[in-house]
Amino acid sequence: MLTRQEHLDASGLSSEDVNAILDALAKVIIPVHLRFLWRPRLKDPADEMVLETAVNGAADRLVTFNVRHLAEAAREFGIPVMRPGEVWKEVQRRDEKK
């Protein structure tokens, strides 16, 4: 999905850039094993896996463009839902303080 043309156009990145970023992330991620199923919790069954991963991974936030579908259910577990742009601004503010 991240290499769809509309996403590349919006980010200004090439598919090679995106794949390099994903490769770097893959080297540092911690796998989350799903031990509990919270289904059904959402209207869109395709979103359930995202919520389950956030809950089981003890996420401190869920970053998605799909705030409308995930925010309410994530709040039940104490997980704030933010858009990528909001998180990016948070990172920039943190960097400015350093």
Do residues 42 and 86 both lie within one domain?
yes
Do residues 41 and 26 both lie within one domain?
no
Do residues 64 and 50 both lie within one domain?
yes
Do residues 43 and 82 both lie within one domain?
yes
59 closest CA partner among 83, 81, 41: 81
- Domains: count for the chain: 2
Do residues 25 and 42 both lie within one domain?
no
Do residues 83 and 44 both lie within one domain?
yes
Average pLDDT over all residues of the chain: 89
Do residues 24 and 67 both lie within one domain?
no
- Boundaries of domain holding 61: 36-97
According to DSSP, residue 46 is labeled: G
**Separation of alpha carbons 61 and 80, rounded Å:** 5
Do residues 62 and 26 both lie within one domain?
no
Q: What phi, psi does 64 have (nearest 5°)?
A: -160, 155
Do residues 50 and 85 both lie within one domain?
yes
Task: Summarize the confidence of residues 89-98 as an average pLDDT.
Answer: 85
Do residues 25 and 46 both lie within one domain?
no
pLDDT digits (tens, 9 = 90+) for 6-33: 888 888 889 999 999 999 999 999 888 8
pTM for this one? 0.67
82 closest CA partner among 53, 49, 59: 59
